[in-house]
Amino acid sequence: MGSDRTVERRRFLVVLDAGQGDVWAFVDAESGDQIARRYPELRVYAKRPPHVSSERYAALLSADARKFGDIDDDDFWLFKALRSGRPTK
């Protein structure tokens, strides 16, 4: 018998240190750990980081739609960029 239980996803701020400035995006996932396991290059925040002002965080949230992705969307630009920089096995 299958389960109809669905896990609610939350929105997380993710940040990549790109060397010449941070690259940020928002990712919907079941947990921050889910993101960190798949993409250990990212810092994951469940809420506004203390070093980001409320005004800046609000501005990030109102950014264009390309800054928002889902953990299961392999075509999300940030995930594609991260995978392209990883060594192949």
Tens of each residue's pLDDT in the chain, 89 residues: 455 557 799 999 999 987 777 889 999 999 999 999 999 999 999 999 998 999 999 998 888 878 999 999 999 999 999 999 876 65
Predicted TM-score of the model (pTM): 0.83
Residue-wise DSSP of 24-63: EEEEEES-HHHHHHH-TTSEEESS--TTS-HHHHHHHHTS
Of the candidates 69, 79, 81, the one whose C-alpha atom is nearest the C-alpha of residue 27 is 69
The single-letter code of the amino acid at 10 is: R
